[in-house]
Structure formats: structure tokens, C-alpha cells
């Protein structure tokens, strides 16, 4: 019985829609191919199980050399390290036995084929795992606002963007362009739509900063972002001197 090509099994293990009715019938009848497919699927799952591994580093060349030696792939299978661009050179003539060497290289040993398929699955699975890990840690923009100047601060302007992490925590990125007054600091606030309540997010140390939205604060209830100019007097309340203000627009 002719077995299914290892590369095709590798694609099936990765979930690619390449299986045919004939392939399915063969897998139902052939225990060897079914077992090989199960092993490749385990390899794919192992490669994908890297959600908390962080950024992947390029393995050292000696690691590739050991893999190539284990799979009997030869030195040419080791990925070359990146090198600076060089001037093109004329390739040397192939030796007389080169054609025979190429012909013999096409005769794959079963161990090499399965080794290549498993290695491809691990690399592909690791790539998918890194993508999934990155996606699972990327914050999502949920609201934004343009901040307009108050009459006492002509020419001032600003912006605010609210982002939410996968764990539900939120933060506001605030940028303000305005002249700074001596002996004052800037504070960022969330204000209720009817101006009946306000929540301080903290001090804006420079023209831009990122401040955490306290847990439990409903942005639908506090949709107004305000940046105030505060005197250094120890009073935690809003000074009443707003530099810029704007209402959030939700994504």
C-alpha cells in the first residue's frame, strides 16, 4: 500500500483544507498513516503552546547544525545567518558528478521526510503561537476625544485615547499642547456628562502621558476628559481653570 506523502500529512495536521475523500479513506484503512498524522498533530499543538513565551529568538547556528545532523540533512540545510549585501559573484562550474549527486538527493529516506514534516510543523506552530500571544496582549482602542481650548488658554489643543487591555484594565493616552504657567501643574480628569461629579486620573507630567482609569469607573457616565491647570497649593480639588476639554466618542 502506498502511504500518504509526509508533507501532505503535515498540512493536514496544521488544519489546512487539503485532504480529499481518497485521503480520508486511506487514513481510515491505514493505521501507520493515521498514527503518523496523530504524531504530527501533537507536534503542531506543542508548537502552538507558546502563548506566554514572549518574543522568540533566533537559535544559534550550532542548534541548527545538530538538527540537521539528527535528521541527516547535511550542512546545506542549516539556515545561513544574515550577512551584509555583497557584490554578485560568478558561480563555480559544477563538478562532473554533480548531476548524479542531485539525482541521488531526490531519493528521500522515510526518516528524513518525517523529520522535515515534524520540523516544519514545529516552526509553523511556534509562529502561530507567537502571533496568538501578541494578539492576546495587544490593547484595543475603545474611545477617543479631541480636546478644545478654554478661553483663558487660547491656542491650546489636545487629544485623548482610551485603550483597554485583554484583562479589562483601561488607560488613557493624553496629549496637550499649551503654554505652561510657572508654579502650576496639569491634572487629568473624567467628568460626568452633567458635570455633577468628576474623577481625577492623576498628574500629566509633560505634554503627553498615560494614566490608568480606576477600576469600576463607567466611561459612559464619565465621558468628558478635562485637563486642568492646578496651583501648587495642596488642594486636591479641581482648580476651576481648565486648559482643554472634550467628550469621548466610543469605537
User: What is the C-alpha to C-alpha distance for residues 236 and 239, in angstroms, rounded to an integer?
Assistant: 9
CA-based nearest residue to 195, from 245, 159, 231, 156 = 245
Mean pLDDT value of segment 191-201: 95
Residues 6+ apart with CB under 8 A from 85: none
Better pLDDT: 13 or 107: 13
| Stretch among 3-17, 104-118, 217-231 having the lowest mean pLDDT | 104-118
Whether the pLDDT of residue 143 is over 60: the answer is yes
CA dihedral angle for residue 39, residue 43, residue 46, residue 51, rounded to 10 degrees:
-140
Mean residue pLDDT across the chain: 77
Mean pLDDT value of segment 187-206: 94
Mean pLDDT value of segment 112-120: 57
Band of pLDDT at residue 81, cut at 50, 70 and 90: low
The bridge status of strand 157-164 relative to strand 242-247 is: unpaired
Whether the pLDDT of residue 92 is over 50: the answer is no
Show the 3-state SS of 81-107.
CCCCCCCCCCCCCCCCCHHHHHHHHCC
pLDDT at 146: 97
| Stretch among 1-10, 144-153, 199-208, 211-220 having the lowest mean pLDDT | 1-10
Question: Half-sphere exposure of 145 toward its Cβ, with a 13 Å CA cutoff?
Answer: 23
User: What is the C-alpha to C-alpha distance for residues 82 and 240, in angstroms, rounded to an integer?
Assistant: 59
Residues 6+ apart with CB under 8 A from 55: 130
Exposure letters 11-39 (e unless 16+ CB within 10 A, then b):
bbbbeeeebeeebeebbeebeebeebbeb
- Walk me through the domains of the chain, giving residue ranges and CATH numbers: 6-82+108-137 (no CATH), 140-250 (2.60.40)
Whether the pLDDT of residue 185 is over 80: the answer is yes
Q: Is the pTM of this model over 0.95?
A: no
pLDDT at 96: 43
pLDDT at 121: 58
pLDDT at 19: 82
Greatest mean pLDDT among 69-83, 98-112, 237-251 lies in 237-251
Amino acid at each position: 500500500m502506498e502511504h500518504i506523502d509526509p508533507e501532505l500529512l503535515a498540512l493536514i495536521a496544521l488544519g489546512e483544507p487539503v485532504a480529499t475523500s481518497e485521503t480520508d479513506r486511506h487514513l481510515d484503512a491505514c493505521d501507520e498513516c493515521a498514527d503518523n498524522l496523530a504524531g504530527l498533530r501533537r507536534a503542531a499543538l506543542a508548537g502552538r503552546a507558546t502563548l506566554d513565551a514572549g518574543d522568540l529568538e533566533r537559535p544559534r547556528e550550532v542548534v541548527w547544525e545538530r538538527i540537521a545532523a539528527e535528521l541527516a540533512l547535511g550542512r546545506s540545510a542549516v539556515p545561513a545567518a544574515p550577512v551584509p549585501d555583497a557584490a554578485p559573484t560568478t558561480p563555480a562550474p559544477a563538478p562532473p558528478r554533480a548531476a548524479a549527486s542531485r539525482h541521488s538527493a531526490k531519493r528521500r529516506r522515510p526518516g528524513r521526510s518525517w523529520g522535515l514534516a515534524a520540523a516544519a510543523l514545529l516552526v509553523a506552530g511556534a509562529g502561530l503561537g507567537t502571533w496568538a500571544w501578541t494578539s492576546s496582549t495587544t490593547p484595543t482602542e475603545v474611545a477617543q476625544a479631541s480636546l478644545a481650548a478654554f478661553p483663558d488658554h487660547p491656542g491650546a489643543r489636545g487629544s485623548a485615547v482610551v485603550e483597554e487591555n485583554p484583562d479589562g484594565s483601561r488607560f488613557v493616552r493624553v496629549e496637550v499642547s499649551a503654554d505652561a504657567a510657572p508654579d502650576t501643574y496639569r491634572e487629568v480628569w473624567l467628568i460626568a456628562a452633567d458635570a455633577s461629579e468628576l474623577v481625577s486620573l492623576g498628574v500629566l507630567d509633560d505634554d503627553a502621558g498615560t494614566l490608568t482609569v480606576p477600576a469600576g469607573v463607567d466611561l459612559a457616565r464619565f465621558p468628558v476628559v478635562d485637563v486642568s491647570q492646578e496651583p501648587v497649593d495642596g488642594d486636591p480639588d479641581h482648580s476651576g481653570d481648565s486648559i482643554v476639554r472634550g467628550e469621548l466618542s466610543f469605537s
